[in-house]
Amino acid sequence: MKPVVEKICTFSLAQSCEAMENFVSYVSSKYEANAMKAISYVILGCVSLLIFVILRWTRTKPKPKPKPEPRVHATRSFIVRQLHSGYPALERLMEEQYENPSVLESAYTLIMQFGNEFPDLRIIQQKVKELEMWGEEDYAEKILRLALKDANEKQKPHEAYEYEMFLVEVLIYKGGKSDLKSGLKCECLAEESLKDARRPLFKAIMHKMLENRERAKENWDEFIMVRDPAIGHQIDIDFDQFEHHVLRLQIATKKAAERKIQINSFTSYK
């Protein structure tokens, strides 16, 4: 069978029918009784080779590029038409993530924490922060003042201290002079029995915002002395950098106050 294999390997699909007949004659004379069997193998091999070539060609054949869809310009009439179709509203109905946090959700979670026997101070801090980020410090202040009053009435000094410290932070982010002066009068800032680095830090921020740089520097130096080096050791800034960040806070609170005035004037306009 070796000559047959060699013939198959050198056989070309482009050969003529005459070459094929000569090849069959050669096999018949060579193998006589087994000629039909050998010829069958040859034909089967040729057919398999032909199928392989066709399949390979179809796979490598470059696909025609799809025609680009005509671009629809977002004209005002098209936008109105799209809105009137109702599909944007339907998509929102289908895709709205109702579990996303919101102002009301944060305020509700904050109130629920104050109703617990052992409130989670980390959650309270996070929800107060969220309300501050959304410009709803008034919500946070009202809730904290009510919680502080309730803790004092129930003679829970530890809770009252923590709630008032959160209140001071809210007053800082409100940023008004009256808010800052009210924050400096809070009893938690005069408490010396607990080692709490927030006391000198908050006082440094408020004095700096009230343009009392000397007092701010004194409180900042105290903060550096009493802070826990094991916590927040990667945060290492000097007083000049501290002043820069306080200025950023003042600019942000000023812009927020201006926006509120503009919104109130617009909504009250008749």
The pLDDT, as a whole number, for residue 88 is: 72
Distance of alpha carbon 147 from alpha carbon 150, whole angstroms: 5
Indicate if the pLDDT at residue 56 is higher than 60.
yes
State pLDDT tens for residues 156-166.
Answer: 999 999 999 99
pLDDT: which is higher, 47 or 220: 220
Of 45-59, 123-137, 206-220, which one has max mean pLDDT?
206-220
Say if CB 202 and CB 169 are below 8 A apart.
yes
- Mean pLDDT taken over the chain: 77
Lookup: tokens for 163: 């709630």
pLDDT tens by residue, 179-212: 999 999 999 999 877 788 899 999 999 999 999 9
**Cα–Cα distance measured from residue 168 to residue 37, given in angstroms and rounded to the nearest whole number:** 100
Sign of the dihedral through C-alpha 90, 92, 96, 102: negative
Tell me the two tokens of residue 74.
């977002």
Ramachandran region, residue 52 (left: φ > 0; alpha: ψ -120 to 50; beta: rest): alpha
- Please provide the size of the chain in residues: 270
Instruction: Of 84-88, 158-162, 211-215, give the lowest mean pLDDT range.
Output: 84-88
Domains of the chain: 2-60 (no CATH), 103-267 (1.25.40)
The contacts of residue 201 (CB under 8 Å, 6+ apart) are 219, 220, 223, 227
Collapsing DSSP to helix, strand or coil, 156 comes out as: coil
Tell me the HSE value of 223 on the side-chain side, using a 13 A CA sphere. Answer: 22
- Mean pLDDT value of segment 35-59: 60
